[in-house]
Structure 1
Amino acid sequence: MLQNIDDSILLFIKNNMHSYIMDKVMITSTHLGNNGAIWILIILLLMINKKYRKIGFIALGALILSAILGEGILKHLVQRTRPCVNIPAIDMLIKKPTSYSFPSGHSASAFAVAAVLANYFKRYKFVLFGLALLIAFSRLYLYVHYPTDVLTGIVLGLISSKIAIAFSKYLTEKIDSKECRTF
């Protein structure tokens, strides 16, 4: 039943949303998420600046955690074939990925970093989550993930960000309590 829902959503997107302009936007969006490229660039920019370095490290932690859990563990446990492999008649707009489908690594990394950044840069949360959503949706549009892959990637990313933020707060409290005892 879940597979039928996934297939129906992908078919709806294919039949109702594809256009020349959308093709270009989705290809560009998905390329921004390739290997976490846009997020790594943002993290590096934060780490260069002493004022935002800690946030950069927290975002990096969330990104690494989402990659370990998603790409390193879940993909190999579930081994779900991608929709573009299951339905070979689809005209691909990008190169077919060779890894498994579940969960979406693009979605996980996008939401892991966007959630960390939105926590600290509240003014930009709509832009950050908008970019993350665009990258996640591009994976459906380009027929390389099922909706449940993307949804699971989003949840995984959000959980990774919560863990990274909580771990940072824990370390900060530990460091602050040790500094207080030494004086």
Structure 2
Amino acid sequence: MNELAILDAIQPIHTPWLDALVAAYTSTSDVGQIWILLGIVLAIIPKTRKLGAAVLVAVLIGAIVTSGILKPLIMRPRPCDVNPLVPMIVDRPHGSSFPSGHATAAFAAFGALLFSKGPKPLVIVVGIGAVLMALTRLYCYVHYPTDVLAGTVVGLLAGFAAAKIVEAASRKLQERRSQSHT
């Protein structure tokens, strides 16, 4: 089955209330703002400061890889440009389709929390939010399934890298603090 056929198979489930809900939710990550806000809130709270830093670093890494490297390199047309007859429920995005920046940011935040061993309820909620964000991109006809899959992989890798970077930076900071007290 080709990817446009998969997207076309999703189209019959559209309803006005679901369109409004999906359009509102997907727009919260047009520039990753929901995941950036999550990182900022976690970074403000002393107990979750490292988790917040990991989320912010992960979203940044994901954006650099996705929007700075892969999208300009691959330049895949979006499904809504290939089949412009499908009614749009969001503004037609510009730029390359592959990989999905929304999926990348969502799974970067999830991956950062997962690989940093964040509180299980938070990891689960953000994981569900990431899956739903990725699905909105298919529902909106702005990404192919492989765009979303690639964004998921890039996001998880960014989350893993960010968890390692923040942990290493935290250890280094602890070492410096203990050395300055001796």
Structure 1 and Structure 2 fold alike (TM over 0.5): yes
State the TM-score, normalized to the length of structure 1. 0.90
Is 1:21 matched up with 2:27? no
Q: Give 1:48 shift.
A: 2.1
Matched residue SS, 1:98: coil
Alignment of 1:39-118 (within 5 A): 39-118=35-114
Aligned AA (1:78): I
Higher helix share: 1
Please give the alpha-carbon distance, in whole angstroms, between the structure 2 residues aligned to 1:156 and 1:174. Answer: 27
Match for residue 144 of structure 2 among 138, 143, 146: 146
State the TM-score, normalized to the length of structure 2. 0.91
Please name the residue that 2:29 is paired with: 33
Query: Which consecutive residues of structure 1, in runs of 5 or more, have no partner in the other structure?
Result: none
Among the aligned pairs, what percent are the same residue?
37
Please give the alpha-carbon distance, in whole angstroms, between the structure 2 residues aligned to 1:123 and 1:95. Answer: 33
Give CA deviations for 1:93-113 in whole Å, capped at 9, x if unaligned: 111001110000000000101
Q: 4+ runs of 1 displaced by more than 6 Å?
A: none
Aligned AA (2:51): I
Aligned AA (1:135): M
Aligned AA (1:68): I
How many aligned positions are there? 179
Of 22-31 and 101-110, deviating more is: 22-31
Please name the residue that 1:8 is paired with: 5
Please name the residue that 1:170 is paired with: 168
Q: Give 1:178 shift.
A: 4.7
CA-atom RMSD in angstroms: 1.6
